[in-house]
């Protein structure tokens, strides 16, 4: 194994003057409502799919909402999954979070709009002014279908057109539609601004589609993507790319420093990636949504691992795209 792989993330941080990685503040509660999804994408860090049964119950959703109401500092409720809309309590979470005056984000795979009994979703999202963050890893059909499944591109385009028809992506509508790109294989994303311009041109030219921002996100070496790296013998080369690409200017903007992530069963983690690795927040911090204490969580030490290099390589990567 190359020596590079022995350099832990904490050692690299220390070399750049960060003795430990600590939260700065928490303004976002990221809620993962479970692993149920209508797709089984090759790069999925959640290992989500149609047969997964781990989903947030109403009681846990109530505990989440109680925290949202208690802490106005949590300005954003960021709902993810799986396909979060497949959780029967998704709409309740949205309605109640909005009623508490929070900004709500839905990390949407777009094809869920075509699942039985979900056709009302675009209008529901628009009626509640939910920001839609939608996965579309390319503007070309073959690349999307290769990563996300046959026919996904066509349905994604149709879903984006439905959202546009409701006002999403249109200036002045207050309805934000952001797209998410991730590389097809073990590569770093290209520069975000240039790719956003290409997406804008191509989607407008081909389908008349409008959107607000494009977020480039690095594939994390965990779960299904990690299995793929091992199967194809590319794990070490990919890790070397991430480690060599460490960008110190991404550290201040790491998403674990301003959000806290709650699992489908109420456990707390520093981010969705740590959650998927079953890494809870540090022992000294409250461990579940039922013990939530914003002040203590906001000064916690972040639990790190080799996967964290995925967030600091190149331009950096977060749920809001490039960092640096
Ligand atoms: S990447 Fe998203 S849409 Fe694809 S299987 Fe995972 S959760 Fe579902
Ligand atoms: S993987 Fe999570 S804990 Fe690690 S740097 Fe990224 S956001 Fe922070």
Is 80 exceeded by the pLDDT of residue 5?
Answer: no
Give the tens place of pLDDT for each residue, 42-94: 878 888 999 999 999 999 999 999 999 999 999 999 999 999 999 999 999 99
DSSP for residue 29: E
Give the mutation target among 242, 263, 271, 324 for probing the ligand 2 site: most ligand atoms within 8 A of CB: 271
For 3-312, the fitting CATH number among 3.40.50.2000, 3.20.20.70, 2.130.10.10, 2.30.30.40 is 3.20.20.70
Ligand 1: residues with CB < 6 A are: 37, 39-41, 44, 46, 48, 81-83, 109, 135
Name the band, by pLDDT with cuts 50, 70 and 90, for residue 4. low
The torsion defined by the Cα of 13, 17, 23 and 28, in degrees rounded to 10, comes to -70
Q: Assess contact for 280 and 269: CB atoms under 8 A.
A: yes
Mutation probe of ligand 2 site: the residue of 26, 308, 310, 317 with most atoms within 8 A of C-beta: 308
Q: Would the pLDDT of 1 be above 70?
A: no
Asked if 92 and 47 touch (Cβ cutoff 8 Å), the reply is no
DSSP 8-state class, residue 11: H
Domain residue spans of the chain: 3-312
What pTM was computed for the model? 0.95
**Average of per-residue pLDDT values in the chain:** 95
Ligand with minimal distance to 218 CA:
2
Average pLDDT value for residue range 300-322: 95
CA–CA gap between residue 309 and residue 324 (Å, rounded): 14
């Amino acid at each position: 194994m190359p020596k590079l792989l022995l350099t832990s993330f904490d050692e690299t941080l220390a070399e750049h003057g960060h003795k430990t990685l600590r939260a700065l503040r928490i303004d976002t509660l990221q809620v993962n409502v479970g692993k149920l999804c209508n797709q089984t994408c090759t790069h999925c860090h959640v290992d989500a799919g149609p047969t997964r049964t781990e989903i947030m119950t109403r009681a846990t959703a109530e505990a989440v909402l109680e925290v949202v109401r208690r802490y106005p500092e949590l300005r954003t409720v960021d709902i993810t999954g799986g396909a979060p809309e497949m959780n029967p309590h998704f709409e309740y979470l949205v309605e109640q979070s909005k009623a508490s005056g929070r900004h709500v984000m839905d990390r949407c795979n777009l094809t869920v709009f075509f699942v039985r009994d979900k056709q009302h979703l675009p209008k529901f999202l628009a009626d509640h002014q939910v920001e839609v963050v939608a996965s579309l890893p390319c503007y070309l059909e073959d690349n999307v279908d290769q990563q996300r499944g046959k026919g996904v591109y066509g349905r994604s385009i149709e879903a984006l057109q439905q959202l546009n028809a409701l006002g999403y992506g249109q200036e002045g509508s207050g309805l934000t539609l952001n797209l998410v790109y991730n590389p097809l294989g073990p590569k770093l994303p290209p520069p975000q601004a240039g790719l956003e311009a290409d997406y804008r041109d191509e989607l407008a030219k081909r389908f008349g589609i409008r959107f607000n921002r494009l977020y480039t996100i690095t594939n994390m070496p965990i779960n299904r993507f990690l299995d793929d790296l091992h199967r194809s013998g590319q794990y070490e080369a990919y890790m070397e790319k991430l480690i060599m690409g460490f960008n110190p200017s991404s550290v201040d903007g790491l998403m674990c420093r301003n959000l806290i992530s709650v699992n489908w069963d109420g456990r707390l983690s520093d981010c969705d990636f740590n959650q998927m690795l079953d890494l809870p927040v540090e022992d000294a911090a409250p461990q579940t949504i039922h013990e939530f204490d914003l002040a203590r969580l906001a000064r916690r030490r972040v639990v790190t691992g080799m996967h964290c290099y995925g967030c600091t390589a190149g331009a950096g990567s977060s749920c809001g795209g490039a960092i640096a």
